[in-house]
Amino acid sequence: MSFIPRRFLLRLPCCAVAVLALDGYLPVRGGIARAATTGIEIKLLDHLFVPDQIRVRAGDRLTFRNEDEDLHSVVLVGREDILEETFLDPGTTHGVVLPGDLAPGSYQLACTIHVDMRAELVVG
């Protein structure tokens, strides 16, 4: 993202939001999201991870929010040392900070209760 002077952003806040959204810094429903410096929220809704592809950086904070009526679990497949299987009752959240030395690559999030419930975590 290119540098935008703060005085410009204060005058045109709606344009600033549009610029940030186009550059991928705001969470979106479905599709791809990239974590901002404050972290990113991943919803568990309708037996899906929303969004289903999350772009992050090592050290980012992820918050999982169960907005479904069913119990879900969350695990980072093959990297349980980072995010071991955690169960979330409806209406609850769980947060995790990714290690600062997490290698770039693609990782899979899964719900072990609902075997088709998957998401991709892309570390860049």
Sequential pLDDT tens for the chain (124 residues): 444 454 444 444 444 444 344 344 444 455 565 544 558 999 999 999 999 999 999 999 999 999 999 999 999 999 999 999 999 999 999 999 999 999 999 999 999 999 999 999 999 9
CATH number assigned to the domain comprising residue 71: 2.60.40.420
17: Cα separation from own chain's centroid? 19
18 belongs to a structural domain: no
Helix, strand or coil, per DSSP, at residue 14: helix
The model carries a pTM of 0.71
Instruction: Give me 60's structure tokens.
Output: 């980012």
Asked whether residue 14 is domain-assigned, the answer is no
Pick the closest to residue 39 from 26, 23, 20 (CA basis).
26
Q: Is 20 inside any structural domain? A: no
How far is Cα 46 from Cα 51, in angstroms, rounded to an integer?
Answer: 12
Instruction: Tell me whether residue 76 is in a domain.
Output: yes
Q: Which two tokens stand for residue 92?
A: 């609850």
Q: Is residue 99 part of a domain?
A: yes
Residue among 86, 80, 79, 74 at smallest CA distance from 42: 74
Does residue 108 belong to any structural domain of this protein?
yes
Q: How many domains does the chain have?
A: 1
In a domain, 61, yes or no: yes
**What residue numbers bound the domain in which 109 lies?**
28-123
